[in-house]
């Protein structure tokens, strides 16, 4: 079945993985003694970037960036400490991008 799914589209490849954690899109899912723990996953190779607030983009672009990041943090963080860490990462990203 995995072979057939990988033939569906040349740019989409599925990988069989067995273990205690799996990455799916931007979510890290971990199995901790039968309890699933989720958190936001950030690839190490990607840079923290958002649309700079000094640019001439419409205001809704900036609001959408912040709203999307907060929504992702709320939905994907299993614990309060994970959520707080994600908010800290967001603040650093926004400071980095002015």
Sign of the four-CA dihedral 86, 66, 64, 11? negative
pLDDT of residue 74: 92
Q: Which two tokens mark 19?
A: 């273990």
Distance, in Å, from the CA atom of 2 to the CA atom of 38, rounded to the nearest integer, reads: 24
Mean pLDDT, rounded, for 67-81: 90
CB 40 within 8 A of CB 87: no
E-assigned strands of 1-98?
Answer: 21-24, 27-32, 35-40
Residue 24: strand pairing partners: 27
Residue 60 has pLDDT above 80, yes or no: yes
| Residue 45 pLDDT class (50, 70, 90 cuts) | low
Global pTM value? 0.64
């Amino acid at each position: 079945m995995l072979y057939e799914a990988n033939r569906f589209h040349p740019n989409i490849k599925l990988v069989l993985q067995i273990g205690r954690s799996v990455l799916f899109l931007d979510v890290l899912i971990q199995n901790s003694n039968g309890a699933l723990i989720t958190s936001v996953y950030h690839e190490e190779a990607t840079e923290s970037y958002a649309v700079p607030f000094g640019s001439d983009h419409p205001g809704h672009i900036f609001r959408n960036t912040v709203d999307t990041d907060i929504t992702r943090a709320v939905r994907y963080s299993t614990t309060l400490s994970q959520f707080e860490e994600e908010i800290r990462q967001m603040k650093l990203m926004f400071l980095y991008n002015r």
